[in-house]
Amino acid sequence: MYCSVPLSPIIAGQTTWNVLEKRAHERCAVRGKKLTPLRLRVLHALWSAKEPVGAYDLSDRVSVEAGGRRMAPNSIYRVLILFTELGLVRRVESRQAYVVARDGDPGSDMFFLCDGCGAVTAIDEPQLAALLTSQASALGFRPHHQVVEVAGQCRTCAESQPTKEQT
């Protein structure tokens, strides 16, 4: 059991490992999939990360957990695709990386990304999603995927840097 790993604050509302592991077992079972040891190690490595993690980095992390046996990045990608389909993880497109989906995440791909500390905060803003859908419709555009990523500084990083008046 991985209970001793501290909770990663990467996404507001992130759940504990035990709850996430249970959710993963349930969602895999519904789809007729097994939560194999490799899949579980990938999910745990992603959960314990302090920042969005790409497949190659996950491969390295999982390889360490597997006693040094090198895990192929294509195997990691297949697991990430499954977890994305199951709503367990979200892809941060601009960073080509993944984060664990927060509790109750309906599938939103809207993020605030801190350039300072690397924090990622997922948001669920139905009004923004509706506005984008409305604008697309007005243009005759048929979106198949909607991603909103806003880069900048989180409150902590912004407050730790002097303003122009202080310099």
pTM: 0.76
Written as six digits, the tokens of 146 are: 């909607």
Work out the mean pLDDT of the chain and round it to a whole number.
83
Report the number of distinct structural domains present in the chain.
Answer: 1
pLDDT at 22 over 90: yes
In terms of Cα–Cα distance, which of 74, 81, 77, 109 is closest to 93? 109
Cβ neighbors of 96 (< 8 A, separation 6 or more) are 54
Q: What is the mean pLDDT of residues 134-159?
A: 91
Host domain of residue 51: 17-166
Cα–Cα distance for residue pair 88/126, rounded to 1 Å: 20
Burial of 8 (0-12, 13-18, 19+ CB in 10 A): middle
Q: What is the mean pLDDT of residues 16-36?
A: 93
Most confident of 1-5, 76-80, 162-166: 76-80
Q: What is the mean pLDDT of residues 146-158?
A: 91
* Domain contains 12: no
| Least confident stretch, 14-23, 53-62, 64-73, 123-132 | 64-73
Any idea what the CATH number is for the domain that residue 129 is in?
1.10.10.10
Q: Is-contact 52 98, C-beta < 8 A?
A: yes
pLDDT at 12 over 80: no
* Domain contains 60: yes
Q: Is-contact 110 125, C-beta < 8 A?
A: yes
